[in-house]
Amino acid sequence: MGTTWVLHTETKGTGANMVPLERITKHPPTPAPLVVAPKRRTPRKETPKPRARRRFRVLDVMTRQHLIENGNPRETMEALETVRSVVDVNIYIWDEEQERWLLLPFSEQRAMLELARVKRRDQRDPALAPAA
């Protein structure tokens, strides 16, 4: 006896195909796999390590002399008040994990110098200081 052929239209946009009737009746379409969300874990309560104080090094580019060594942020800002331009100094910060001095990116060096200039301007003319 001959094989019965049917038009199989459940394709993925490639058009219909002629297939034997046995192929369609033997393999019904498989249902979508059941997805079960994993159980939520409770987050671990790790105590954060206390952050070490920030230490800065300001180095004059022309003379290669330290304007400040192992300075805290306040001392660093005071040292930067005398700096004429951001390209005149290199500002480093101590990295505890790597145990070495890291050069701050230029944008952060510029931000620190601008902050020092604002502080210096406010000290010279208290009328320009922002109201508290």
pLDDT-derived band of residue 125, with 50, 70 and 90 as boundaries?
A: low
| Cα–Cα distance, 71 to 53 (Å, whole number) | 10
Q: Which residue has the higher pLDDT, 78 or 43?
A: 78
* pLDDT at residue number 54: 93
Percentage of residues of the chain with pLDDT beyond 70 = 88
- For residues 67-72, average pLDDT: 94
Q: Quick one: average pLDDT of 40-56?
A: 85
Residue 118 half-sphere exposure toward CB, CA atoms < 13 A: 8
Sign of CA dihedral 74, 78, 81, 86: negative
| Higher per-residue pLDDT: 88 or 45 | 88
Write down the domain spans for the chain: 56-126
Examine the pLDDT at 112 and tell me if it is beyond 70: yes
